[in-house]
Amino acid sequence: MIGQGATTNVYLTVDTELSSLHFRRHGVAGLEANFASSILGRTEAGDFGILYQMERLDAFGLKGIFFVDTLVALVAGQEMVDRIVRPILEAGHDVQLHAHAEWLGRSKSGPTDGRGGRNMADFPLEDQVRILDYGIERLLAAGAPMPVAFRAGNYGANDDTLRALARVGIACDTSYSPDYAGSVCGITLPRETTAPVLHAGVIEVPVSAIAGPSGGSRHAQITALSAQEMIAALAYAALNHQAAFTIVSHSFELLCRQRTRPNRIVVRRFDRLCEVIASSPRLRSATYADDPPRPEPAGEGVDWLPHSLARTLVRTGEQAVSNGLYGEQVAGMPVSAAAPAFTVRDRLIAPLQTLTPLQQIALDILMAV
């Protein structure tokens, strides 16, 4: 499908974290349940968290990059970080640093002396350096090598975060997402930046995206794009010789919103994505430890995959089905009340699932007229 030639490095990243919301509701007494749900993805149907994800990656000969939130040690201790990190290392996958600043306000003994904030960008530079130092110490104590990459929780980094990373010796950041630029993400890059670039002393590796309607974008997250959109974006990147493509997932990504059962649509999507990456000669599973991204000159890089109405309609239908099967409400209605709408929708959307690329283009042209 993609042909021969140079490869695009695919960075399949997994933000690996406990739920601060769960902790807010249940406290220390709920930590075991939080770990089981958020990290192991435990359900009555089995586990669908990081162990399952690594098994599927291994089945296709791929490597994952697990960004581990070590600030949870402030409330759960070093043992919790150990329990998360060690299975990843034993399975031979990449461990890098993640930090959700929400945990800082829940501990008076942390690196900011009890000063809290939702995002890294809420703290001054010196506090950010201390936060990163603390996170690195916890990762090293769990047996991980010195991290070379970082992602801020909620993408909530700013240029001071990058300066702090340079000071602590972390070369790469991947907190920049075009969907969050100008809001929680305060990194001052042009919104259309797609390639790794040198910025504020580190290599900034943007989360990949596709173009949306009316000039918008949609970032490459397992639950944000359909399999068809993700595959099309990867093919577009490879055909245009894009050096790096970054995909975001989470340790709990394959569960329903209530985290009580697997979302089978997303589970199949994850498998399909792995299959395509493994079977495409122009795509290569890469890690930060072994294949760190190289910066490109500012202003270079491949544009996002152009918007396709056909692909958007397929995804909208797929997500509506997913919400109906695995969510509590659809458009504010109980699922049972929305059932008749699903039937009509399925009849409209189903034929779009089998459109060839040429048929998709034709539909896009017709809808644009």
Beta-bridge mates of residue 99? 152
CA 278 to chain centre: 19
Structure tokens given for 85: 């990190």
Contact 88, 66 (CB under 8 A): yes
Contact 151, 98 (CB under 8 A): yes
The CB density around residue 257, as the number of other CB atoms within 10 Å, is 14
Contacts of 303 (CB under 8 A, 6+ apart): 192, 194, 211
Cα–Cα distance for residue pair 281/135, rounded to 1 Å: 37
pLDDT value at residue 114:
81
pLDDT value at residue 348:
45
* Domains in the chain, CATH or no CATH each: 8-302 (3.20.20.370), 316-368 (no CATH)
3-state secondary structure the chain: CCCCCCCEEEEEEEEECCCHHHHHHHHHHHHHHHHHHHCCCEECCEECCHHHHHHHHHHCCCCCEEEEEHHHHHHHCHHHHHHHHHHHHHCCCEEEEEECHHHHHHCCCCCCCCCCCCCHHHCCHHHHHHHHHHHHHHHHHCCCCCCCEEEEHHHCCEHHHHHHHHHHCCCEECCCCHHHECCCEECCCCCCCCCCEEECCEEECCCCEEECHHHCEEECECCCCCHHHHHHHHHHHHHCCCCEEEEEEECCCCECCCCCCECHHHHHHHHHHHHHHHHCCCEEECCCCCCCCCCCCCCCCCCCECCCHHHHHHHHHHHHHHHHHHCCEECCEEHHHHHHHHHHHHHHHHHHHHCCHHHHHHHHHHHHC
The pTM of the full predicted model, rounded to 2 decimals, is: 0.87
Structure tokens given for 20: 């601060």
Per-residue pLDDT of the chain (369 residues; tens, 9 = 90+): 333 457 999 999 999 999 999 999 999 999 999 999 999 999 999 999 999 999 999 999 999 999 999 999 999 999 999 999 999 999 999 999 999 999 998 887 889 988 889 999 999 999 999 999 999 999 999 999 999 999 999 999 999 999 999 999 999 999 999 888 878 999 999 988 999 999 999 999 999 999 988 778 999 999 999 989 999 999 999 999 999 999 999 999 999 988 999 999 999 999 999 999 999 999 999 999 999 999 998 767 788 899 888 788 877 777 666 666 666 443 344 444 444 444 444 444 445 445 554 444 444 444 333
